[in-house]
Structure 1
């Protein structure tokens, strides 16, 4: 069974406020991933003040191990305003990336990002840091764009936000989630029961969380094999299977 980790940071940041914007080293993490049976991993940059530079660093890592890694382009909705399409175009057409990463810690997701995702038919992995109301807006405004909302919407273990997100996950066909960092197993179980295996992707939020711990939550759902296959790899492949490698008008 193919196992794909859809959520892992890599490379150097330049903020020096914590591990998330200092360094995301893969040395130990990739050994842990192999031991956990994970064959492929989606990489995107650590937090950075220059995502053009950071995405190029990610591309170097992906380029060295193309059979092992996928790449997502990290963009900042405010700081990269006016050039997001060109950044994504470079990432897709030159680097072979297949998605966009956005974080509310940087700025709230923008129309420009959603339009770029539509143009290249790639998913957006957007961490809203518990701001679930935005998910309702983007899912409705951009019904032809797929959004992966990690951590059931809140890495901070905001129970209220995660509970509210379950309705959005079940109701919107273009809203998905990943399992990285979810500590409340009862909510993960509710997500599986309400939205189904086709809306859940396995992720670790590496390299800081141990992949063996993260994947154990998937197996703890005691889902049938076909559901495990969806969550552990097939859903990701479906979301990234129709990337447009030529520039689209928008």
Structure 2
């Protein structure tokens, strides 16, 4: 099963660009279906109130639970003091499986990491090139899994991407996704040095074409077992214990 671990959905309210205006799924879903992508992790577009944004994403996810997983978007600074509440709502009411945070909003905080630890959630944290924080995250929260998207830099900062590969190699709880990675040689190097078990397929939909992003993985010509890890099993392995634990609690 091919799982896209990185896709935005719903409406933002910033109106400064697509990323905080609207993330419509109509064309994404057609493209994903044509590419053979069967499941997708959804989280909000940038928003001034992530409680509102997460609720909208939950409506989408729970409308097609066989198609989508949900991650809760939080703002480390603006949501200070209520991160636990937001994450608890996302897990216990919406059935979400992870946390999304972006350094564009604010750097990650202990409050976010503590919530991830409490609910056994992976954190997809866009470090926006500041990959040195991975050293601290790995040391302080070795029991929390962190997915650093774009190989560390959507801005194609090859220095940051090279540095992230070192973190992938050295730290068991640091992962990355392939969304928007343009330097194919660095993608090859990440798989070769860190191993396919540390790489997750992501598209950064709906703004990037999921079929185009998927083609990069196919172009790696990995052995089938390794390709399967990248295309879905790695993400599944990160969220399955979470979903199993909390589904049992909710059903009980």
TM more than 0.5: yes
Q: Which residue of structure 1 lines up, in the alignment, with residue 166 of structure 2?
A: 167
Please state if 1:141 is matched with 2:140.
Answer: yes
Matches within 5 A, 1:145-224: 145-224=144-223
Partner Cα separation in structure 1 for residue 42 and residue 240 of structure 2? 17
Question: Which string of whole-angstrom CA distances, capped at 9 and with x for unpartnered residues, describes residues 131-154 of structure 1?
Answer: 011111111110000000000000
Please, which runs of 5 or more residues in structure 1 have no aligned partner?
none
Question: Which string of whole-angstrom CA distances, capped at 9 and with x for unpartnered residues, describes residues 209-245 of structure 1?
Answer: 0011100111111100000110001001110111142
Q: Which residue of structure 2 lines up, in the alignment, with residue 111 of structure 1?
A: 110
Q: Which residue of structure 2 lines up, in the alignment, with residue 230 of structure 1?
A: 229
Q: Which residue of structure 2 lines up, in the alignment, with residue 42 of structure 1?
A: 41
Partner Cα separation in structure 2 for residue 196 and residue 163 of structure 1? 15
Please provide the CA RMSD for this pair: 0.9
Partner Cα separation in structure 2 for residue 10 and residue 83 of structure 1? 23
More helix by share: 2
Matches within 5 A, 1:14-163: 14-163=13-162
> How far 1:44 sits from its partner (Å)?
0.1
What count of residue pairs does the alignment treat as equivalent? Answer: 246
Partner Cα separation in structure 2 for residue 67 and residue 205 of structure 1? 20
Partner Cα separation in structure 1 for residue 161 and residue 90 of structure 2? 31
Question: Which string of whole-angstrom CA distances, capped at 9 and with x for unpartnered residues, describes residues 86-143 of structure 1?
Answer: 1101100100000000000000000000110011111000000000111111111100
> How far 1:76 sits from its partner (Å)?
0.2
Please, which runs of 5 or more residues in structure 2 have no aligned partner?
none
SS in 2 for 1:17: coil
Partner Cα separation in structure 2 for residue 70 and residue 84 of structure 1? 20
SS in 2 for 1:151: helix
> How far 1:7 sits from its partner (Å)?
0.1
SS in 2 for 1:161: helix
> Normalising by structure 1, what TM-score?
0.97
SS in 2 for 1:241: helix
Q: Which residue of structure 2 lines up, in the alignment, with residue 12 of structure 1?
A: 11
SS in 1 for 2:240: coil
